[in-house]
Structure 1
């Protein structure tokens, strides 16, 4: 498994995290008690299922290895193992952040993920 995991997040929420110096999670994360992430293979389906038609999103790449034991891969959609972070995301674990625009077909256009 790659050690890079991804978070799709509204740009305004991410801006607030930058000001705080850490990301506590989106409302769904706070409700579930962990921060939801996706692998590179899972991110497009996550975008389609949970962010359909939404604009002003960012794709944030995270160094999963930097998160230690707080990062747990757990079964979710269709039995796939999804990365979940039990705790706040320290911004020093962020590798990069890029816009996640909508294409002409209404689907999000993903940047190269590496």
Structure 2
């Protein structure tokens, strides 16, 4: 380790990479078009990043997509969290974690 690495006051913030955001925004756009979602928020914190999804702007998020790099080798760095705080899916592949929400787009057509 170099001197600057040892004496950094704060670690860098965790954020979503462009490729991760394109996967999330693709799903988000389809859900907005289906009338399911209306708004989103992104938070980049020291230990994790959160993409919050809202049905209405003034409400609590109905889903949160979390990225926690420290859990990469344990449970998986991505997690889909429901409105009640329950983890719906966790893993290292963002697309497979978001497949839970993809199923909401599939509807039976008469």
Shorter-chain TM-score: which interval? under 0.3
* Largest Rg, 1 or 2: 2
State the TM-score, normalized to the length of structure 2. Answer: 0.25
User: Per residue, is there more strand in 1 or in 2?
Assistant: 1
Select the structure with the greater relative contact order (CA < 8 A; seq sep ≥ 6).
Answer: 1
